[in-house]
Structure 1
Amino acid sequence: MTKRIFVLYTGGTIGMSRSEHGLRPDTALVGKALAPFSDSLSFDWHVCDPLIDSSAVTLENWRDWLAILAEKIPQYDGTLVLHGTDTMAYTANILALALQGLNKPLVITGSQLPYDAPDSDAPPNLAAAVAAFSLELQEVAIVFNGKIFPAVGSSKVSTETAAGFDNPHFGALGRWNETDGWHDIQPRPSKLSDGLNTLALNPQAKVVCHTLTPGFAAQHMSDGLAHTAAQAAVLQSYGHGNAPSDEKFIQSVQTFTQKGGLMLNISQVPQGCAAAVYAQGSALRQAGVINAGKCNLETATALLTLAVSNGWTADAVQQKLADLGLV
């Protein structure tokens, strides 16, 4: 029986064409990109209007895409999202966390070069993404450069090569090539589901990121927290979640969390883990910061956006981190 696949085309390099100002999103991809696979799969397209460069993605886009997917996913055997690479990992994480009870594959792909460009990586990425529907996954996954990655923990790691994505903590779920198909598959346990439930996403959710660097950064963050309208913040700290124990800095963090702000502490290290290892990080933990373990920036951003949207407490965020296997 032919599988029915819903395609959400958001834009991105994969379908771009040249203009006098540079590459721009185009609809020409729709009539040809998936035609080579139509003998075994049936594709229904939803073309977003307007198509966007993914660097322009907004919370409104995420809210709208979630609404479309919540309607369409139950009607199809799988979903393919075509997306630009710049924020693909952010979108993959918001979909993975917001689409609760997902029991079908949702595959996201794009490319570093347009579909019609010489030696483009778009055709093989599309072939691998389509082939991924045979794996019967029950989650959101990124397919890129012959690998499939779980959304949670994935990041864009290169603008220069076809190997644009990686998942430093959780690795690839499998590898694909045109000759052998999928191999080196890492089995994932099937999930029990009572049906798809989509979490709310508030386009007015205010989440920011602060990255610590030696020097002025801690003071700048302290000054900013005193006046911020942010409801939640990601703190990219050092190593195992360490930060300066400067009194003003710690006090500003504590004031922010005591007022109800959520602060998620993640490591700047791609394969880092923010945890209670060093005494240097003790003051930060006591100030109400949530240590997010293996959480990367993309997952942290998605998690806090949904936390603000749904009124989660710090304890609820901590539980979600545990459920995701991050702490």
Structure 2
Amino acid sequence: MPRLLLLHTGGTLGMAGGRPSALRPAAFFKTLKSRCPELFQLADIELELFCNLDSSEMQPALWSRLATHLHRRLPDFDGAVVTHGTDTLAYTASALSFMLPGLDKPVVMTGSQRPLGEVRSDARLNLIDAVLSALQGPPEVSICFDSHLYRGNRARKVKVAEYDAFDSPNYPLLGTLGVEALFAPGLRQKGPRRLRERLESRVFLLKVFPGLDPALPLALLPQVRGLVLEAYGAGNYPLDPTLGHSLLPLFREARARDVPVVVVSQAHRNGVDLSLYESGAAALAEGALSGGDMTPSAALVKLMQGLAYHQDKEARARFIQTPIVGEMTDRPSNVHGTPAKKSRRAR
């Protein structure tokens, strides 16, 4: 049988309790073996408890430890499944995709909206689909949820109380697991498998909103090494100085302090084009970096890594604006991506 590593990090999937009491982390592997015994018919699965946390507690230091552990353990297995809470799942998946370049085996992350021990839980099917995806899916970091396989650094959590909790607005599915399991080829990464576990966590994610006082982010600049700005639409923000809310001074001060500003869109579909409107062009003139159609979570993690590995300003800018592991569309005219070819089938 193929060998599979299953790492548990916590999340709703392994919790106990529930209404009227609060959900809390609980023993997982005993529940897994009793509620999902068919999982072990698919592979020789080695279970490891990496941590047992609500995903709101997952921090960059844990991402680095998790990437290091996977890098060390993967050569002994045909693939890996990582169970994780849904709230920060897209952040962790993005982080692992950048930290494990050159992957030649699938690393599939999954979770659930209800604990595995509950009768109407979605955890059982998510686990089975994730194991199958880790054995037959593309060799990259992905998220398996509600019978869909998403590129990890392209996914967003979009729902709280429904089973189809994730979406990938700007990139097609890597797989669908219905009566048949169909997988796209996925990334074909160049170079050997590597570990890039360093991150600079002194960054900030700022969302533009009507009424934002520019003095607040300006006061923040001395405390951060980088900034991701969630702008309106194609990269717009207040520009008119006569109205008192212009954010242009923020870009100027960031440039003076060598604090990179990566601009992404609040819109889920498509991405920024800083050359399209006056405010975007003004930001470009002050050294702003386009995040294209990256999700805010992918842009934030990529900025963390760019700051950790690239001290040179130009090298850092090239890294942030160049697709590394499929996190952004190479050509702005093709922000929707192209449909994935169905290359593998499994029953």
TM-score above 0.5, yes or no: yes
Asked if the contact 2:146–2:163 (Cα under 8 Å) also holds between the matched residues in 1, the reply is yes
The runs of at least 4 consecutive aligned structure 1 residues that moved more than 6 Å come to none
Give the secondary-structure state (helix, strand or coil) at the position aligned to 1:235: strand
Q: Given residue 321 of structure 1, which amino acid in structure 2 is its aligned partner?
A: Q
CA RMSD of aligned residues (A): 2.0
1:37 equivalent in structure 2: 39
CA separation of 1:317 and 1:129: change in aligned 2, threshold 3 A: farther
1:235 to 229, 235, 247: 229
Give the secondary-structure state (helix, strand or coil) at the position aligned to 1:200: coil
The structural deviation recorded for 1:116 is 1.2
2:343 equivalent in structure 1: none
The structural deviation recorded for 1:34 is 5.3
Mapped pair 1:224 → 2:224: no
The structural deviation recorded for 1:309 is 2.1
2:345 equivalent in structure 1: none
1:130 equivalent in structure 2: 131
1:284 equivalent in structure 2: 283
Number of aligned residue pairs: 318
1:274 equivalent in structure 2: 272
The structural deviation recorded for 1:173 is 1.5
The structural deviation recorded for 1:279 is 2.2
* Aligned counterparts of 1:319 and 1:22: Cα–Cα separation in 2: 43
TM-score (norm 1): 0.90
* Aligned counterparts of 1:82 and 1:251: Cα–Cα separation in 2: 43
CA separation of 1:14 and 1:88: change in aligned 2, threshold 3 A: same
Asked if the contact 1:156–1:165 (Cα under 8 Å) also holds between the matched residues in 2, the reply is yes
* Aligned counterparts of 1:13 and 1:263: Cα–Cα separation in 2: 34
Q: Which moved more, 1:22-31 or 1:148-157?
A: 22-31
CA separation of 1:192 and 1:147: change in aligned 2, threshold 3 A: same
The structural deviation recorded for 1:246 is 4.3
Give the secondary-structure state (helix, strand or coil) at the position aligned to 1:35: coil
Asked if the contact 1:29–1:115 (Cα under 8 Å) also holds between the matched residues in 2, the reply is no
Matches within 5 A, 1:104-143: 104-143=105-144
Give the secondary-structure state (helix, strand or coil) at the position aligned to 1:100: coil
Q: Given residue 205 of structure 2, which amino acid in structure 1 is its aligned partner?
A: C
Q: Given residue 217 of structure 2, which amino acid in structure 1 is its aligned partner?
A: M
2:58 equivalent in structure 1: 57
CA separation of 1:326 and 1:219: change in aligned 2, threshold 3 A: farther
* Aligned counterparts of 2:87 and 2:162: Cα–Cα separation in 1: 14
2:321 equivalent in structure 1: 321
Q: Given residue 326 of structure 1, which amino acid in structure 2 is its aligned partner?
A: T
**Gaps spanning 5+ residues in structure 2: where?**
331-347
The structural deviation recorded for 1:109 is 0.2
Asked if the contact 1:211–1:217 (Cα under 8 Å) also holds between the matched residues in 2, the reply is no
Asked if the contact 1:62–1:91 (Cα under 8 Å) also holds between the matched residues in 2, the reply is yes
2:185 equivalent in structure 1: 187
2:23 equivalent in structure 1: 23
1:251 equivalent in structure 2: 249
TM-score (norm 2): 0.85
* Aligned counterparts of 1:113 and 1:319: Cα–Cα separation in 2: 38
1:209 equivalent in structure 2: 205
Give the secondary-structure state (helix, strand or coil) at the position aligned to 1:39: helix
Give the secondary-structure state (helix, strand or coil) at the position aligned to 1:272: coil
Asked if the contact 1:222–1:253 (Cα under 8 Å) also holds between the matched residues in 2, the reply is no
2:152 equivalent in structure 1: 151
Q: After superposition, what is the alpha-carbon deviation per residue over 1:91-134, rounded to whole angstroms, capped at 9, x for unaligned?
A: 00000111011110000000000001121100111111112134
Asked if the contact 1:5–1:77 (Cα under 8 Å) also holds between the matched residues in 2, the reply is yes
* Aligned counterparts of 1:134 and 1:75: Cα–Cα separation in 2: 14
* Aligned counterparts of 1:174 and 1:120: Cα–Cα separation in 2: 22
1:200 equivalent in structure 2: 197
Asked if the contact 1:231–1:262 (Cα under 8 Å) also holds between the matched residues in 2, the reply is yes
The structural deviation recorded for 1:205 is 2.3
Q: Given residue 226 of structure 2, which amino acid in structure 1 is its aligned partner?
A: A
CA separation of 1:320 and 1:214: change in aligned 2, threshold 3 A: closer
1:93 equivalent in structure 2: 94
Q: Given residue 195 of structure 2, which amino acid in structure 1 is its aligned partner?
A: T
CA separation of 1:311 and 1:205: change in aligned 2, threshold 3 A: farther
Give the secondary-structure state (helix, strand or coil) at the position aligned to 1:197: coil
